[in-house]
Structure 1
Amino acid sequence: MRRTRWRLGLAAATAGLVAVAGIVVATSAQAAAGCRVAYTAGSQWPGGFTANVGITNLGDPVNGWSLVWTFPSGQRVTQAWNATVTSSGAQVTATNVGYNGAIATNATVSFGFNGSWTGTNTAPTSFTLNGVTCTGSVGGTTPPPTTSVPPTSRPPTTPPPAGNAMAAVAAMQPGWNLGNSFDAVGADETAWGNPRVTEALLDNIRAQGFNSIRIPVTWSNHHGGAPNYTIDAAWLARVREVVNWALADGFYVMINLHHDSWQWINTMPTDRTNVHNRYNALWTQLAAAFRDASPRLTLESVNEPQFTGSSGDAQNAQLLNELHTSFHRIVRQSGGGNATRLLVLPTLHTSADQPRVDELLNTFNTLNDPNLIATVHFYGYWPFSVNVAGGTRFDATAQQDLVGQFDRVYNAFVSRNIPVIIGEYGLLGFDRHTGTIEQGEKLKFFEYLGWYARSRRLTTQLWDNGQHFGRTSFQWSDPELIAQVKSSWTTRSGTASSDQVYVPRTGSVTSKSLTLNLNGLSFQGLRQGSTDLASGTDYTVSGSTLTLTAAAVTRLVGSRAYGVNANIQARFSAGVPWRISIITYDPPVLGAATGQTGAFSLPAQFRGDQLATMEARYADGSNAGPHNWTSFKEFDVAFAPNYSANTITLKPEFFAEVNDGQRVTLTFHFWSGTTLTYYVTKSGSNVTGTLS
């Protein structure tokens, strides 16, 4: 498959909006007080932005803080994390939450928020902390600098509670994966297209609020042959360098044997001795290399273990147990910090299916070691995760799949005081691009996942191969997504049955209704930009049904140009607001076309609409194309819309499994509810597409 605590000055180089000021902190009459604040609005879009605020204490330790500033352009905070934020007009007060109230000398705490703006989004430049005005130095005499200055020390680094694996794993929440770098199969960490990892990247990820980082490492191409399998010194040194950067940033860190799992470990059923020898040799060297590392370093035996050519479940379980047992023995016997280091053991395929969970529990019972962690991966209900078989929505089936998997690992492990890490999570469609899953349905998935993982006391580590957090820009590619993820770490958010309201281009405008998913919260109202919509006039709420009046819809669509005419936000008593796009459309228009199986695109005037999925059937009603157990084909694999080019492409993977000479009826389903029929016939490498 696949298949920051930051230095404040580094972030300033890439942020769109930065203000830096000193802050005096009054802790006692004798305190040599002083602080620095870095305010960075790194992501901005029409009407909204995301900001991070870092507070560096230059004076005596403080215990409990309150940061106050005034927005110069009337901005508003709509949702915050790692702080409690209240507003009175333009004045904003942020106070610590329970776990970040203490700031040691030269230490930094940070929090973030989403905000709204109109006109301009000017950064505040003056802050007070605990009632004392900013100065930028100890003693309060130096004027604030005009550029961000890196702090002289790293964030505090507290080791995990001794002998308490559950508490240590709880402290790892939330986590992030450095994907497609050291796990890349090739010459070095750039083999899969990502740049070399930098210290600044880790600093920026830490500043985003992540407390643990999983650094997958593939060793296959970086060691010698039998019998010693000596790891390449330069490769090991490079891995150690990045691990040390992460530890110095205050992260909990996990490293492993990653794609080795399918490159050579999987041959264990037919090459048992050689696999054992190679596996043991690698872990013997790694145990020695990291023997004296911080206890915040954890070791994972293998990623997504799998076996080819085995006799079945029983042999798979036996082989994986052998690997785990060898790993455990080698690391523990290496001594030093490894004698009690937290070790991570996955299920077969990192699956949360009950038989796989039971197998791993048997291994835990045999090893009888309190410093072990169980891990599984979660990429959602497969039809939804890749958008196939009509799985376009995060519906009750997709939700129950999540609940079942999280409940199984909770019941097997957490209820027995064995911690669990969801070592990777996301959606498989993200491997192509994040637009494979419709935006609102994607947000509902991440909102629910974060909440339910918290309820089951599971630590989560987001899989990111570069498609989420820019490795050099240090910006999130999808601000709405990361806002939802961050919110889910501490609270629930309200959602709705859709994030889209479609209005026909012609004809009378009527009222439009959506179902609110309150998720235990209360509905607070609708807002467009900084303007509140009027209850009763612009909208009504009856139970969980939100209705936009015809008059409000008429105003919001304006001249009714195709596409998104307005965005409004449904606000709730907690969490992030729910964006609702008001969209004008007409039914799309398709055109006849001829082409080749390797490059066939049909003309498509989308006229404000968007494609949800596609069905393919032969004339006799049987399913055509790949995944022939369903008529609904896989988005981005069998077909893909191109909105800028006004085309829909039928991909070579689709035609590879279409019968020659048989006419295929395609049904395109659009998010407005429109369906259109189209016909294609393959003759050798030639394709003809018609409307009738």
Structure 2
Amino acid sequence: MTRRLARLLPRRRRSSRPPRRLAALLLAIALLPLLPATARAADPPPPSAPAARSAVAAMQPGWNMGNTYDAIPDETSWGNPPVTRELLRKVKSQGFKSIRLPVTWGIHQGGAPGYTIDPAWMAKVRQVVDWALDEDLYVLLNMHHDSWMWVNNLATDHDAVLARYEATWTQIAAEFRDRPSKLVLESINEPTFSGTSGDEENYRLLAELNRAFHRIVRESGGRNADRLLVLPTLYTNSEQGRLDALAAELTELRDPMVATTIHFYGWWPFSVNIAGYTRFDATSEQDLTAQFDRVYNTFVARGIPVVVGEYALLAYDHNRPGIIERGEQRKYFEFLGNYARERRLTTMLWDAGQFLNRTTLQWRDPELFAQIRSSWTTRSGTASSDLVFLPKSEAITSRTLTLNPNGTDFQGLRHGTRTLVKGRDYTVSGNQLTLTAGGLTTLAGDRAYGVNATLEARFSRGVPWRIDVITSDTPVLSNATGDTGGLTIPTRFRGDMLATMESRYDDGSNAGPADWTPFQQWDTSFTAYTPDSIKLTSAFLDSLKDGSRVTLTFHFWSGAEVAYHVTRTGTTVTGTPA
């Protein structure tokens, strides 16, 4: 992943792109129509060999051993325990056919001219590769955070960077030249370059690196002579210009044992919860299908296999629940898995420890992983929401959700071991599922704040859709005093959950670091991880005009909205209910 996201996971790196690639640039890329491609292959690239296509297909699905051998300075530095063979066995047992092994080499190298890789580090990498191969897993081995640590200086320090890159890959190629063909090599992770004149120079530099990688590996002999090699687009993204530039490279190489790779983390505003994009909606779907369609049309339709070398959601992390609502996560992964299958893309889940607990070897959210695993082979039914709120201060009335069968047939509802009765507990009209007042009254029980009951909507295939029945009332926020270092707002959530925060000055203009939208970014401007408070960050408070009053509107998943005033005077900040 890219360095622009490092702030999303305190004390843990998930990234590799320089921080100057700011959120505003990402949003501009996401929101604006794509510009015409400037780099196009004069001739279409030749199709890859059947062996290359079958190997990439056999790698589906894949799993990333993230934040481990790519961690700086060592494998345990970013929160994961040392790798064990049991971990590889667990990954294999869960249905994965391949692992991607991100490795940062540069911090384990000597100086010029040899740039010798530390033998102990090479031995660690070799051991994991061999363990995985022994488990009959494909292994995609790469050069990872080197991309932003030193390779990015290729334009300004060309000869020294190229010499180091070539020396590094010469050693890697020699070390693994005799490993089975299930070992696959990737030239560079998320390539980026500093000090260039723009994309055309970036494309030229990446092509130079990829040619050097290709030459070194092929000339090293052994099984490297026809080993499958994976080449990335610039930044490993799927804008059409990036894809066309890589297609031009393939036309020049004319190597039948080459595949391509991109990364995908979803529609950016949804994946980090900014600008009010709290749901996996039509915009997010269209972004996904457009990117996968471009990759398909540029490569797969021409017989060139594609590996989505990393996918997840940018802000998904088990330590910070709530940024992306649970049901919306599930809809995203369900849709992604299905569309990747339709477009014949091999996907590799980016897991930096937020999905699989590598200490206990248990999934942190088994229900979410079940959704991901199911998407590899079939579709699952979902619904417009997985949350049904019943205001505690009001009489219980019926509630309606829209079912999204996704080609399945709705089979009914269960509560634990009890099958709910159609006509009494719920009704179905077309795709409208209505939970009756009587059925909800039984499920709500004593109507304590929070989740009173969890239902399963079952479909003819795939995994059930979870529906939480929740008793809530409008949250209550209290007075608060702090400074620009942070403000903690005492909050009684009363069963509800925060969705997002809107922020405006008294004149109606947007307030906050993301001044292009009134809806600020979770974690950057605010958090809500504790059961008794909402916190405003120093980044948000520092961005406010001195002497200004800001009206915050907190939007909750029940639909409730609560207004709150924040005033900054010098470094002092006060908050009061509106």
TM-score using structure 2 length: 0.91
Question: Secondary structure of 2:180's partner?
Answer: coil
Residue identity in the other structure for 1:649 = K
Q: Among 378, 386, 397, which residue is 1:510 paired with?
A: 397
Q: Partners in 1 of 2:338 and 2:435 — Cα distance?
A: 29
Shift of 1:661: 1.4
Corresponding position of 1:344: 230
Cα deviation per residue 1:281-313 (whole Å; 9 max; x = unaligned)?
Answer: 101111100000010000000000001111011
CA contact (8 A) 1:385 1:428 kept: yes
Q: Is 1:220 paired with 2:106?
A: yes
Q: Among 479, 483, 501, which residue is 1:592 paired with?
A: 479
Q: Partners in 2 of 1:294 and 1:352 — Cα distance?
A: 30
Percent identity of equivalent pairs: 60
Cα deviation per residue 1:133-177 (whole Å; 9 max; x = unaligned)?
Answer: xxxxxxxxxxxxxxxxxxxxxxxxxxxx99511111111011000
Q: Partners in 1 of 2:221 and 2:252 — Cα distance?
A: 21
Q: Partners in 2 of 1:657 and 1:461 — Cα distance?
A: 38
CA gap of 1:382–1:345, structure 2 versus 1, over 3 A, is same
Residue identity in the other structure for 2:344 = R
Corresponding position of 1:455: 342
Q: Is 1:648 paired with 2:530?
A: no
Cα deviation per residue 1:518-561 (whole Å; 9 max; x = unaligned)?
Answer: 10111111111121111111111111110011110111111111
CA contact (8 A) 1:600 1:651 kept: yes
Q: Among 366, 369, 372, which residue is 2:258 paired with?
A: 372
CA contact (8 A) 2:49 2:256 kept: no
Corresponding position of 1:320: 206
Equivalent residues in 2 for 1:173-572, closer than 5 Å: 173-186=60-73, 188-430=74-316, 433-572=320-459
Corresponding position of 1:57: none
Unaligned runs of 5+ in 2: 4-47
Residue identity in the other structure for 2:465 = W
Residue identity in the other structure for 1:168 = A
Corresponding position of 2:52: 165
Shift of 1:2: 6.4
Question: Secondary structure of 1:445's partner?
Answer: helix
Shift of 1:434: 4.8
Question: Secondary structure of 2:362's partner?
Answer: coil
Shift of 1:656: 2.3
Cα deviation per residue 1:627-658 (whole Å; 9 max; x = unaligned)?
Answer: 111110111221111343x1000011211211
CA gap of 1:191–1:507, structure 2 versus 1, over 3 A, is closer
Q: Partners in 1 of 2:110 and 2:187 — Cα distance?
A: 20
Question: Secondary structure of 1:429's partner?
Answer: coil
TM-score using structure 1 length: 0.76
Question: Secondary structure of 1:321's partner?
Answer: helix
Q: Considering Cα pairs closer than 8 Å and 6+ residues apart, tell me whether 1 or 2 has the greater RCO.
A: 2
Q: Partners in 2 of 1:642 and 1:359 — Cα distance?
A: 43
Residue identity in the other structure for 1:275 = V
Q: Which has the larger radius of gyration?
A: 1
The aligned length equals 533
Residue identity in the other structure for 2:216 = I
CA contact (8 A) 1:433 1:467 kept: no
Cα deviation per residue 1:596-625 (whole Å; 9 max; x = unaligned)?
Answer: 222310111000000000011111111111
Could you tell which deviates more after superposition, 397-406 or 588-597? 588-597
Cα deviation per residue 1:96-138 (whole Å; 9 max; x = unaligned)?
Answer: xxxxxxxxxxxxxxxxxxxxxxxxxxxxxxxxxxxxxxxxxxx
Structure number having the greater helix percentage: 2
Question: Secondary structure of 1:221's partner?
Answer: helix
Q: Among 597, 601, 606, which residue is 2:488 paired with?
A: 601
Residue identity in the other structure for 1:504 = P
Shift of 1:681: 1.3
What is the RMSD of the two structures over their aligned residues, measured on CA atoms?
1.2
Residue identity in the other structure for 1:345 = L
Q: Is 1:661 paired with 2:553?
A: no
Q: Among 617, 622, 633, which residue is 2:520 paired with?
A: 633
